Amino acid sequence: MSDQTTQVIEAERRAPLLLVPFLIGAAVAVVLGVYANVHAPTGIAVNVAGFSGPLEVKVWMTSAALLLALVQLGSALVMYGKIGWLGTPSWTGAVHRWSGRVAFLLAIPVAVHCLYAIGFQTATPRTLVHSIVGTLFFGAFTVKMLGLRRDGLPGWALPVLGGVVFTLLVALWWTSSLWFFTTFGVRF
Amino acid sequence: MSRNSPLVTLLAGGALGVGLLVASMAATPEEPAAGDEPAADATESPATEPAEDLEATEPNEPPDEDVDEAEPDDSPEATEPPADAPEPVTYVGYVDDGTASVAVIVDGDEAIAYVCDGVSREAWLSGAAADGELELTGDQGSLSATYDGFVAEGETTVDGQTWTFSIAQVDPPEGLYRFADTIAGGADVVGGWIVLPNGDQVGLVNVDGESQPADQIDVETGQVTVEGEVVTAERQG
């Protein structure tokens, strides 16, 4: 790490590079939110075999995504040398990328079901938080992905973006899967 | 890592999402009830009340956004009831003071309700539903409410006790369960159970005219023990 003054100056100079990714991410979040609000919930969407119902599918896919997100957090810490005794194995980056990709792809069907079959729900605090965080998650993920393609971002940018995405996913899981498990029990 | 791989990830996710959306649209039957998966369990969160601010209430409305017409923050009363919904809509919840529960099932232009405090008061009510309003009566009381497919609000009087309530649409296993029959011992039994989104059950069993506390039903099977006999309560609606 360079000295703090240099970092601050760099941050000021380079942070605007995130503007376009941020705008695109914001657009993603808004479009999802508007669609969820406007589209009439159908109560129906494609299902996955092997589970007793769409609820269970979503609960477990989200939980799998959360598990991978924990891998994300761990591998990111390793990449940034925060876990000293481990060093930074060469495959750390690959683990980080692939766990992220799989987690993202797991989240997609869940989100499609939410958007298509249920929509933006405001009736209880849990559903309101879940709806808002759900739209923000995909916006934040978009910012993170597009941010990765920018050279010269300040050093804090990717950790912050990644942390935001991780936090949002935890919030999503908390307000859906954890709620489901505590309300109905752990079932498939 | 190639510079484009994050973009590929995003686009792959987007493509998957759009593909699933299209597949879902294709899988959505003209009448949602006819789907091979019960619409009931498609709700992610049974405690979830579909947003009261959805303007579109026709189940077959094309899913593309009519953004220009949308006023997402529109007030609940602006919604019209999904009266043409082919499936009964169940609402359950506690009354405002929390001392009793209400279940309302609107099926087309008819509705039934069960109000129960789990201790001594209960009422089975029925009547007409139209234009988002329902008036139900029964031997033990009455209930009047407005409903919009997502929330039902109103007041009910049972044995002289009046409660106001605002209750939410739910999907199985939440809802109203009922058992009414003569059991092996010869007793005439009418039991009602309201299964709430938090898993709580409020119910009473009337045996030969006497209301008494009820055992909990097994929401998976509807089975419950009444007077020592295992019977099966049916989910209404």
Given this model, what pLDDT does residue B81 score? 46
- List of long-range contacts for A79-83, beta carbons under 8 Å, 24+ apart: A80/A159
CA distance A53 to B42: 7
Which distant-in-sequence residues (6+ apart) come within 8 Å of A4 by Cβ? none
Q: Which chain A positions have a beta carbon within 8 Å of B37's beta carbon?
A: 44, 47, 53-54
Given this model, what pLDDT does residue B11 score? 93
pLDDT value at A117 more than 80: no
pLDDT value at A52 more than 50: yes
CA distance B91 to B150: 8
Q: Comparing B154 with B84, which gets the higher pLDDT? A: B154
Q: What is the mean pLDDT of residues B105-115?
A: 92
Q: Which of A55-59, A169-173, B40-44 has the highest mean pLDDT?
A: A169-173
Of the candidate ranges A123-127, A181-185, B57-61, the one whose mean pLDDT is the lowest: B57-61
**Contacts with A, B 22-41, CB within 8 Å:** 23-25, 27-29, 32, 35, 37-41
Which distant-in-sequence residues (6+ apart) come within 8 Å of A49 by Cβ? none
Given this model, what pLDDT does residue B10 score? 92
- Chosen from A38, A51, A60, A149 to mutate, greatest number of chain B CBs within 10 A: A38
Residue in the block written with tokens 């044995």:
B159
pLDDT tens column, A72-83: 999 999 988 888
Which distant-in-sequence residues (6+ apart) come within 8 Å of A84 by Cβ? none
Given this model, what pLDDT does residue A74 score? 94
Q: What is the mean pLDDT of residues A1-20?
A: 64
CB-count burial class (<10 Å; 0-12, 13-18, 19+) for B123: buried
Q: Comparing B26 with B58, which gets the higher pLDDT? A: B26
Which tokens sit at B48?
């979830």
The answer to whether B61 and B28 have CB atoms below 8 angstroms apart is no
Q: What percent of chain B has pLDDT over 70?
A: 73
**Chain A nearest C-alpha distance from B92 (Å):** 14
pLDDT band at residue B106 using 50, 70 and 90 as cut-offs: very high
- Chosen from A18, A30, A31, A39 to mutate, greatest number of chain B CBs within 10 A: A39
Is the pTM of the predicted complex or chain greater than 0.80?
A: no
A108–B51: do the CB atoms touch at under 8 Å? Answer: no
Which distant-in-sequence residues (6+ apart) come within 8 Å of A131 by Cβ? A33, A36, A120, A121, A122
pLDDT value at A102 more than 90: yes
Q: Comparing A53 with B57, which gets the higher pLDDT? A: A53
**Helix orientation angle between A54-79 and A157-173, rounded to the nearest 10 degrees:** 150
The answer to whether B134 and B91 have CB atoms below 8 angstroms apart is no
**Helix orientation angle between A92-113 and A125-148, rounded to the nearest 10 degrees:** 140
Given this model, what pLDDT does residue B52 score? 38
The answer to whether B59 and B82 have CB atoms below 8 angstroms apart is yes
Q: What is the ipTM of this complex?
A: 0.82
CB-count burial class (<10 Å; 0-12, 13-18, 19+) for B78: exposed
Q: Which chain B positions have a beta carbon within 8 Å of A60's beta carbon?
A: none
Q: What is the mean pLDDT of residues A5-12?
A: 53
B42–A44: do the CB atoms touch at under 8 Å? Answer: yes
Q: What is the mean pLDDT of residues A74-100?
A: 88
- Confirm or reject contact between B53 and chain A (CB < 8 A): yes
Q: Which amino acid is residue A15, in one-letter code?
A: A
Given this model, what pLDDT does residue B12 score? 93
Phi, psi at B68, each rounded to 5° = -65, -25
pLDDT tens column, B115-168: 999 888 999 999 988 877 888 999 889 998 887 666 788 889 998 888 888 888
pLDDT band at residue A132 using 50, 70 and 90 as cut-offs: very high
Which of A37, A100, A142 faces B51 most closely, judged by CB atoms? A37
Helix (H, G, I), strand (E, B) or coil at B90: strand
Q: Comparing B91 with B36, which gets the higher pLDDT? A: B91
Q: Which chain B positions have a beta carbon within 8 Å of A116's beta carbon?
A: 21, 24-25, 63
Which of A40, A55, A149 faces B3 most closely, judged by CB atoms? A149
Q: What is the mean pLDDT of residues A128-151?
A: 92
Q: Which chain B positions have a beta carbon within 8 Å of A100's beta carbon?
A: 9
pLDDT tens column, A34-49: 988 887 766 555 666 6
